Structure 1
Amino acid sequence: MKKRNLYFILFFVAAMVPFVSHAQKFATKTGDIKFEASVPSFEEVAAENKNVSAILNANNGELAALALMNGFRFKVALMEEHFNESYAETAKYPKAVFKGKLEGFSLKALSEKPKQFTLTGELTLHGKTKKINDVAMVSVKGNTITIIGNFMVKPADFDIDVPKVVSKKIADEVQVAYTFLLEE
């Protein structure tokens, strides 16, 4: 009888291991990233990508996002063409990837009221990787976690060359804003 109980306990523990160690993940394929590189007195240089994939491990705050570079849409088609061919070189560098962590993240601490977390990680763009530090606002409503934030990047840090003929029309620093509505 004791042997049978031992087998039952071992079976139960073995069956529960995958559930205990299984990370709670929230994800989206419709995340939004906008960037703005405009300078005063010149045409707006801005684009948006509404098909960004992102995933959050709610157990430890790890966050990853992937944006296809040719998914950015500009108001002016010619700008989009120049962006893809000359600046981002999307045929050679098709994606941008962020891997990082929301420091001190706790799913239990979230509410509908946005809470501030420090987001640290690395952004890989145009074949170069740079550290990113940001303050992200995180909230939860039902089964949806919302993460909103923005940070600045310099095209030069990613070896993106801006021709002199247009250099006065494009900002040295680009503001990147993101919104992720992640569902379980």
Structure 2
Amino acid sequence: MKTKLFWILLLITQFSIAQDKLITKSGTITFEASVPSFEEVKAKNSGVSCVINTKTGEIASLALLKGFRFKVALMEEHFNENYVESDKFPKATFKGKIENFDLSKITTIATNYTIKGKLELHGKAKDISIIAKIKKGKDGIEIVSDFIVNTDDFDIEIPSVVSKKVTKKVNVRFEFVLK
């Protein structure tokens, strides 16, 4: 009898702990480093993981750099070998906190939240603060943000040969639906 009670309590505990986290493994990050009048420099990764602790508002995300896909295969090769050196630095991570996050107050109307934390890329870390729109969607909690990352902050060098064709101020967009 004690063993059954133990297992029931363990299952209940596990169920309640699981409710404190929302997760996705299919989030999307898109970035664009295009310069007007030149070929589009844009990539998308649709296998990004993200988790939110609904009690504390803590958020963490992980993107494998080799998961970014470009229209032009040569750009993808240059991105991985020359820019982010994905064999040496295989992932980008973010760990932070959504300020004033309260899951019970999230509605179907998108609300702006400030997210502060540390972005790590190319072996460098930088504190960032971004605005994200958060709402309840039909499939879960939706989080969307657009922000700019400066390649200089992460020691990502753009060769002088292409410096007129690729901007150092990279537009980044993430879209997550967490369940």
Question: TM-score scaled to structure 2, two decimals?
Answer: 0.90
Correspondence 1:13-92 to 2 at 5 A: 18=13, 22=17, 24-92=20-88
Is 1:138 the counterpart of 2:134 in the alignment? yes
Measured in 2, the distance between the counterparts of 1:93 and 1:179 equals: 23
Q: Structure 1 57/115 Cα, relative in aligned 2: closer, same or farther at 3 Å?
A: same
Name the SS of the counterpart of 1:80 in structure 2. helix
* Count of residues in Structure 1 that have an aligned counterpart in Structure 2: 171
> Could you say which residue in structure 1 is the equivalent of 2:95?
99
Aligned amino acid, residue 173 of structure 2: A
Measured in 2, the distance between the counterparts of 1:143 and 1:59 equals: 20
> Could you say which residue in structure 2 is the equivalent of 1:156?
152
Structure 1, unmatched stretches of 5+, are 1-10
Selected match of 2:177 from 158, 164, 181: 181
1:141 Cα deviation from its structure 2 partner:
3.2
CA deviations over 1:16-43 (Å, ceiling 9, x no partner): 9957983611000000000010001110
Is 1:115 the counterpart of 2:111 in the alignment? yes
Task: Report sequence identity in percent.
Answer: 49
Aligned amino acid, residue 34 of structure 1: T
Greater per-residue strand proportion: 2
1:134 Cα deviation from its structure 2 partner:
0.6
Measured in 2, the distance between the counterparts of 1:165 and 1:19 equals: 55
Measured in 2, the distance between the counterparts of 1:91 and 1:172 equals: 22
1:142 Cα deviation from its structure 2 partner:
5.4
Measured in 2, the distance between the counterparts of 1:34 and 1:20 equals: 34
Name the SS of the counterpart of 1:105 in structure 2. coil
> Could you say which residue in structure 1 is the equivalent of 2:167?
171
CA RMSD between the two structures: 2.0
Contact 2:25-2:50 within 8 A present in 1 as well: yes
Structure 2, unmatched stretches of 5+, are none
> Could you say which residue in structure 1 is the equivalent of 2:121?
125
Contact 2:29-2:45 within 8 A present in 1 as well: yes
